[in-house]
Amino acid sequence: MPFFHRRTLIVCLLAALPCVAVHAEELRSTLQDQRSVAVTIYNENLALVKDQRRIQIGGGQSVLAFRDVSGQMRPETALLRSLSSPGKLAVMEQNFDFDLLTPEKLLEKYVGRNVKVIRTNPATGAETSEQAQVLSANNGVVLKIGDRIETGMPGRIVYSDVPANLRDRPTLVMALDNDGAAQQEVELSYLTGGLAWKADYVAELNAADDKLDLSGWVTLTNTSGASYNNARLQLVAGDVNQVRDEMQLGRQFRGEQMLEARAAAPRMAEESLLEYHLYTLDRPTTIAESQTKQVSLLSASAIPARKELLLRGADYYYQSSYGDLGQKMKVGVFVEFDNKEAAHLGMPLPKGVIRVYKKDGAGNAQFVGEDRIDHTPKNEKVRIKLGEAFDVMADKKQTDFKKVNGWSSYNYAYECAFEIVLKNAKKEATSVTVQEPIPGDWKMLKETHLHEKATSNTAVWRVTVPAEGSTTLSYRVLVRY
């Protein structure tokens, strides 16, 4: 048949599709037909599913119910193509049935229709049957039986059939036109919600706090309403832009989460993908419905690390007189390391939470803090805040403040002095980094310890504090605005 006439015939048939759907026998494809499935999961509750199946389909028009798809499929992204007979299989119409069969849903679908109500006599066990019309199914049931109205469940309700758009599993129903073979290998690809992943890391510091062992895990969560058996799993790390629909088409399936922890495996292969990073698991894995599981991402040991105790100031007290600025001020505890091959890493790290442990005197690993990191490329630093130091603190005060110049808000000059007493209650000496953000155009006039101008508005001192002792840092600075 010429191309023009064939397409014209298909357009004409589209108007008659409701009749085709009613009279044509519905073909079904389930997970038993599945030959392979590939799942690519993105960071923001988004996944790409490629489901390959072998189906039996007759020539001409037919209706195919593609069962066991994700309940949160975005149907506008669904694409069915024939792998064995390219160009021979056309999809003329598709409907996504995600309204699942439950007693409540079945009752709702029968509002305005007739059902049978069967009652059992508790004394004799005899059954009687009456016809009833369902008037409402909101917050209970309202029935019209003969000339009376009843509420509640007067007995067993018997339905004549199951509505066509009420399914026991999420199903994509497609009206097809086939010019190819009766048996074909097809692939259905679609985007879906309900599949998410995140990275979690476990680090263990050594006794000297200068090395750490790092393990990375990928945590997968499946609330999509479908299972993906022996799936080829890939993960995309990066912030992929998505158009946000005003109307959400998917449904959220919730269930009890199960944690499947596996033994450490070779880390996932990594490669660049546009401006993102793609991680591929080297073996198939099953992502079951309503399940949380973990797979190994990476493992590295003896990574050089640096611990830092940091006292960070503020810029507001360089513009006015404040006096006492704080007593027993907290000193932050940070650990950082380099994501380099020389440091036994060198793999782009997806964003996630790093939990840090350290062994106590008895050799038991104890939790010492956690922090969230962003996507970290190769050769960048990873910096983690563990918490606040218990035995190291600071007293800070402003010892002098005076205006030395200026007659408008645009050429003020102030001279101010500060004293910071760093206290260490530990039995060994420690080093504290003091970081002060100094605004405007500034010049250090006097100081007890030499500073480093880390940035245009930041002065940094590294001060050694003796065991069970204290050290006083004093400085005077001129600030111009």
Residue 121 has what pLDDT?
85
CB 375, CB 350: distance < 8 Å: yes
93: pLDDT strictly greater than 90 = yes
Instruction: Indicate yes or no: pTM above 0.75.
Output: no
CB 97, CB 103: distance < 8 Å: no
7: pLDDT strictly greater than 80 = no
Q: Place 122 in a pLDDT band, splitting at 50, 70 and 90.
A: confident
CB 194, CB 224: distance < 8 Å: yes
pLDDT tens per residue across span 154-189: 788 888 887 776 777 888 999 999 998 999 999 999
Q: With the CA atoms of 361, 363, 365 and 367 taken in that order, what torsion angle do they form, in degrees rounded to the nearest 10? A: 0
CA atoms within 13 A on the CB side of 245: 9
pLDDT tens per residue across span 441-480: 999 999 999 999 999 999 999 999 999 999 999 999 999 9
Instruction: Please provide the average confidence, as pLDDT, over all residues in the chain.
Output: 85
pLDDT tens per residue across span 14-23: 333 444 344 4
Q: Give residue 72's region: left, alpha or beta (phi > 0; psi -120 to 50).
A: alpha
Residues in the chain: 481
Cα distance between residue 474 and residue 469, in whole Å: 17
Q: Which token pair is 112? A: 């305005």
Residue 23 has what pLDDT?
43
Residue 301 has what pLDDT?
94
| Helix, strand, or coil (residue 130) | strand
pLDDT tens per residue across span 47-82: 999 999 999 988 899 999 999 999 999 999 999 999
Domain extent listing, the chain: 3-38+51-98+167-190, 103-158, 304-480
pLDDT tens per residue across span 251-276: 333 333 323 333 344 456 777 666 67
Residue 267 has what pLDDT?
54
Nearest to 438 by CA among 405, 415, 472: 415
Q: Place 45 in a pLDDT band, splitting at 50, 70 and 90.
A: confident
Cα distance between residue 298 and residue 293, in whole Å: 16
Find where tokens 């400085």 sit.
475
Residue 13 has what pLDDT?
37
Sorted by sequence, the CB contacts under 8 Å of residue 397 that are 6+ apart come out as 323, 324, 325, 418, 419
Higher pLDDT, 330 or 274: 330
Mean pLDDT check: name the lowest of 277-286, 372-381, 425-434: 277-286
Q: Place 40 in a pLDDT band, splitting at 50, 70 and 90.
A: very high
